[in-house]
Amino acid sequence: MRAYERFLKYAAYPTMSSEETGTHPSTAKQLVLARELVCELKALGLDNAEVDEWGYVYAELPSNTDTVCNDIGFIAHMDTSSEASDENIKTQIVKYDGGDILLNKEKDIWLKVSDYPYVEEHKGQTLIVSDGTTLIGADDKAGIAEIMTALEVLISSGAPHGKISVAFTPDEEIGEGADNFRVDRFGAEYAYTVDGGGIGELEYENFNAASCKVDIKGVSIHPGSAKDRMKNAARIAAEFDSRLPKDEIPEKTEGYEGFHHLLSISGATEEARLVYIIRDHDREKFEEKKRTFAALGETMNAEYGEGTVDVQIKDSYYNMREKVEDNLFVVERAKDAMLSLGIEPIVVPIRGGTDGARLSFMGLPCPNLCTGGANFHSRFEYVCVEDMDKITELLVKIATDTAKSEKKTVKV
């Protein structure tokens, strides 16, 4: 079975995670796909496959060589973003000849080159898209499909390989994908998340990340007698956002430039809330951004009264480079495998994060590999069939090349 065929099957499973439930996994529907994956792994011959109480799928393909080599792993996540619906996904296979792609004739929805010019890099290839009303879940079901297909190839070919650990995780999209991950159960010395974008992407730097909630308490009084007495929480919330650095937002940053991003704003006269994420590759700049939020809260409390503005900041993950740079052979092995397959490595910093960021700090160096997808978290998401095949080859190549390589000591 080719990777795209598996992907089409997985895409039909709704697996959106949720920040609201407080459970692990955050949604029961992720477990439905998890159990299906365990069945599929066992059908491939991995009898040790299991899904644990937290919704993590683990399995191991034993070594079939006497060569002493590193035990490696591949990881992908099962959940999808809440930015677009995961229900009633209607995938379409498009032979792409260039130009805009009509996703939905009835609703006149197009994937436009003017919005996504890089889609034209796929002229002559086959793309999987949605009908423009949902995402397709390539982030990260494409990664799952590629890992599964690579396992099938390794087993059927009998190619020499060391031990290969596999894990499929829940709740990555809400920043909890590593919360209950058991590195000891996983059993690899290092791993790769297969959770990136276009073919060739290889990432071992990501943002330092924090979430921030700003709660504002106002005083509601009839507007006819409000002078010098009312405190409008909604207006104070708007003022808080307006006083943050105006150029440090996603719309005006790129590359290594960090940002703060207003995810939501809600409220009325008595209460209001702003929800942000804070990001920067540089740890000191990251800390400075957090200090900016805290200081602004103090300043506005001095102006509006103590207890008006409550700034709550929580770190989410850190830049994996701090851990991977001591184990750069892990990155070099992926680069070498790409080059041997004619894939040009594109080593770029992630303007986001993966489970690998936290796992690297848990003692499992874990760079990120491409999946062949684009426009993640969007109704205009797509994945390239031919690139999925190539990435499957890449995973097989990494696994078999590791069996030919001298065992390296992993520094944790």
Residues forming beta bridges with residue 272, ordered by sequence position: 216, 267
DSSP element (H, E) containing 53:
none
205 is catalytic: no
251 is catalytic: no
Whole-angstrom distance between the N-terminal and C-terminal Cα of the chain?
Answer: 37
Which distant-in-sequence residues (6+ apart) come within 8 Å of 350 by Cβ?
196, 203, 205, 206, 207, 368
Rounded Cα distance, 171 and 342, in Å: 34
* Active-site annotation holder among 40, 139, 171, 172: 172
Inter-residue contact 256 to 349 (CB < 8 Å): yes
* Active-site annotation holder among 40, 71, 79, 381: 79
Determine the angle formed by the axes of helices 138-157 and 3-11, rounding to 10 degrees.
140
Virtual CA dihedral for 93, 17, 205, 402, nearest 10 degrees? -70
CA distances from 343 to 34, 201, 337 (A): 31, 10, 8
Which distant-in-sequence residues (6+ apart) come within 8 Å of 337 by Cβ?
394, 397, 398, 401
- Coil, helix or strand at residue 321: helix
Rounded Cα distance, 173 and 80, in Å: 6
E strands within 281-398?
A: 309-317, 346-347, 368-369, 373-374, 382-384
Annotate 59-93 with DSSP letters as a single string.
Answer: EEE----SS----EEEEEE--B-TTS--SS---EE
Rounded Cα distance, 132 and 10, in Å: 18
Report residue 288 as tokens: 């400075």
Query: Which sequence positions are flagged as catalytic?
Result: 79, 172
